[in-house]
Structure 1
Amino acid sequence: MKTFYFAKRKLQLAPAATILVALAICIPLSAQTITTFDAPGAGTGAFQGTYAFNIAPSGAIIGYTRDAGNVRHGFIRSQQGGFTIFDAPGAGTAAGQGTRAYSINPAGEITGFFFDSVTVAHGYVRSNQGVITAFDAPGAGTGPGQGTFPLSPLIINPSGAIAGYYTDSSDVAHGFLRETNGAIIAFDVPGAGTGPGEGTFSYAISETGAITGYYFDSADVSHGFLRDTTGVITTFDVPGSGTAPLQGTYGGGFTPSGTIMGNYFDADNLSHGFLMDTNGAFTTFDAPDAGHVPGVDDGTYPFGINANGAITGWYVDDADANHGFVRDKHGAIVEFDVPGAGAGVFVWSIAPSGAVTGYFWDANFVIHGFVREAAGK
């Protein structure tokens, strides 16, 4: 498949567009139900356990386990709590290898990647009947740690189209779109760096097939991008984004109307959430108790968004502890902690019902999955 390059059309903000800073409202948790869970076969050592990443409209949760040998295995947890464990054919069985599941669509199709026996990454899609199809982006590298990465809870859309990135033999990243017929289109954002660790990283795909994510330029600064359904790429930066290495803007998800969600790092390495509407107007937000210590990556990290515009993620406080949050479509923010969590709560996905899922580590750094039902559910 030929690699396509598209001319960059820098996103211009209308003079009347204003930067809106959302009022963060902390709401007491008067009604919530949090259920923790461990998948069969999950290890019980430090950083072993159950990593939950995505929740489907049906309530099914997917992710992967890290077993006692540090091998990964995909799992599906039904709304009733039953588990299905699966491995992609060809997945390696040594430490660090195995199958990772990241995203599920309403039809029950799952995507992610697996590391083979020589630690090369390959993408896969698992049908709702359990049939697994592996795929590789043209040009993907074949060295350890290189390959094809569908790596996000928002990376497969209802039609089954998949976005992601691949790293080539020089460890440069390139975006890709895998269409529903299996054809793969590779792309690079103009201005993306060409050194190791630089390049284009696709993070989310919309219902219509638009893609957002970020790219690192030659100075390792991050910028957001939008690739529309015709292949035209626009880039954007949230005002206030830092310009040092690893600072900048990270595109991260869509609403059905085309609004983009993500986060940005400022000059103090503090993370903040943002929304950018289709006119290019930005709304920024922070969890009320997000930390403000410069240089230690405190702040607000949004990672999941649902069709109603509700957002979930986590924030890091001044004591360097992680806590979950949910921001409703009106901008009100609820903060929460998972019972039994140590300093780490990581929230990745929100269902249309408002239920969220993710994982936490306990006092011994063992990883456990959780689901938090919406208030009143």
Structure 2
Amino acid sequence: MKTAAKCLAFVAGAIRDLSKLVSALMLCVPLANAQTQAQAQANSGTFATFDVPGDSGGIFPTAIDFAGVVTGYFIDAGSLIHSFVRAPNGAITVFDPPGATCSTVTQNVCSTADAINLEGVVTGGYATNCSATEPPAGCENHGFLRSPGGKYTTFDVPGQAHDFTSPTGINLAGTVTGSYLRSASEFAGFVRLANGIFTNFVVTGSTYTSPQAINAFGVIAGFYRDASGLLHGFVRSPDGKITTYDPPIAFLTNSPPVSINAEGAITGSYCSDAACDTVHGFLRSANGTMKTIDAPGNNYGTSPAGINSLGVITGSYILADFSLEHGFLWLPGGRIVTFDPPGSLYTTPTAINDRGMVVGYYCDAESVCHGFVGAPH
């Protein structure tokens, strides 16, 4: 895979793999500098762009609720990562759950807000008890819930030996899914009901089970890694039944992660060959039917990031010469609308709500990244 593709995939993957985040930014800044002469396509839509007070140009919105409340995380001037919520009126609240600790010596991730439900409850992870010398070096990682009023509930998957809980999705019922460290080298999935009851699970044959999203009915979508190191998709029903799948050809990617809507439709991306020389998007219906999604033109890759209840998909695509990254909407029926916020060279949508509002981030010609929310058309 060429350097530009690695950069863009690396940053997208860092949304859910935070240990890679700073390295991703270090890779991308020189690349963006090299592309300052490139011209973005015409904007299409109405966007509000924003920065979090105190951020250093690294902002990563991850989710948006029906009302337009955005959540995500950002990198401050000291290279530490914190969470935020942005109200529809533009007011931004920066937060870490009580007790969160981090440092550039141990772990720079204080907290990350990864998902939000229709009631505005945010879930994510945060770090405590960081140590640079005592084995194992690093921090303990816990899950949290944050109410719209700022009340916190913290939690850990019971019985784990390595103190690593990483929530990735929450639905209206308050059911949370995510992953935890089952052993020193094996990640497993979990479901936490609103009453605090946990169910743990792994995909048969998996060395790494990674739930990514949960819909209103408790259906979970994610990916897993097999013993050969290849990634595959899975769907877990509320009764615990797990169905695995692969795209039409080759294998799944985890950048961006898969997304599921209320109808059980899943979207994500896959490589068409082992070298990942071309990336395609896919749409998997609830009955298992697969459809490939490619943005129009001569492109290196198309990467869906989110799908709403109407079946509208958002994501990004990279030109074949790796000069630019644009956002897109895929509409039921197959029509694709492309868009960029004003001034963007690299546009990376991360989520879409049922009103068609898209959230994400973009990087400008000065290699500075900003958040955006808006309605492409």
Give the TM-score, by structure 1 length: 0.80
The CA deviation at 1:248 is 9.2
> 2:298, 2:213 → 1: CA distance?
25
The aligned residue for residue 20 of structure 1 is none
Deviation at 1:184, TM superposition (A): 1.5
Structure 1 position 355, deviation (Å)? 1.2
Which aligned pairs between 1:68-79 and structure 2 lie closer than 5 A?
68-79=77-88
Matched, 1:35 2:48: yes
Shift of 1:283: 1.2
Cα distance per residue 1:36-91 (max 9 Å; x no partner): 11111212xxxx43221111110111111210011122111111111112111121
Where 2:206 maps in the other structure, the secondary structure is coil
The letter for the 2-side match of 1:274 is F
Q: Is 2:141–2:165's contact at 8 Å kept on the other side of the alignment?
A: yes
Q: Is the 8 A contact 2:339 2:376 kept in 1?
A: no
Task: Say whether residues 1:59 and 2:68 are aligned partners.
Answer: yes
Report the CA distance shift for 1:324/1:78 in structure 2 as closer, same or farther (over 3 A): same
Structure 1 residue 265: deviation in Å? 1.6
Q: Which residue of 2 aligns with 1:167?
A: 181
Q: Deviations over 1:341-368 (max 9, x none)?
A: 23x3211011111110101223343321
How many Å separate the matches in 2 of 1:82 and 1:290? 40
Judging changes above 3 Å, is the alpha-carbon distance between structure 1 residues 41 and 185 closer, same or farther for their aligned structure 2 residues?
Answer: same
Tell me which protein shows more helix as a share of its residues.
2
Letter in 1 for 2:54: G
Secondary structure of residue in 1 paired with 2:177: strand
CA distance in structure 2 between the partners assigned to 1:90 and 1:337 by the alignment: 38
Alignment of 1:144-293 (within 5 A): 147-151=164-168, 155-193=169-207, 199-242=208-251, 252-267=258-273, 268-269=275-276, 270-289=278-297, 291=299
- Residues 169 and 257 of structure 1: CA distance in aligned 2, closer, same or farther (over 3 Å): closer
1:89-168 equivalent positions in 2, closer than 5 A: 89-95=98-104, 96-118=108-130, 119-140=139-160, 142=162, 147-151=164-168, 155-168=169-182
Distance in 2 separating the partners of 1:147 and 1:290: 42
Distance 1:185 1:33 in 2: 42
Contact 1:348–1:356 at 8 Å: present in 2 too?
yes
Distance 2:217 2:82 in 1: 30
**Displacement of 1:135:** 1.2
The equivalent residue for 1:327 is 330
Number of residues of Structure 1 aligned to a counterpart in Structure 2: 323
Alpha-carbon distance between aligned partners in 2 of 1:148 and 1:326, rounded to the nearest angstrom: 33
| CA 1:314–1:84: 2 relative to 1, 3 Å | same
Tell me how far apart the structure 1 counterparts of residues 365 and 160 of structure 2 sit (CA, whole Å).
39
Hey, what's the Cα distance between the residues in 1 that align with 2:348 and 2:161? 30
Structure 2 residue runs of 5 or longer lacking an equivalent are 1-40, 131-138
CA distance in 2, matches of 1:249, 1:340: 24
Q: Measured at CA, do residues 224 and 251 of structure 1 come closer, stay the same or move farther in structure 2, by a change above 3 Å?
A: farther
Higher RCO (C-alpha under 8 Å, 6+ residues apart): 1
Runs of 5+ in structure 1 lacking a partner?
Answer: 1-27, 194-198, 292-297
Cα RMSD, aligned residues only: 2.2
2: CA distance, partners of 1:205 / 1:225: 12
Change (3 A) 1:364 1:29: closer
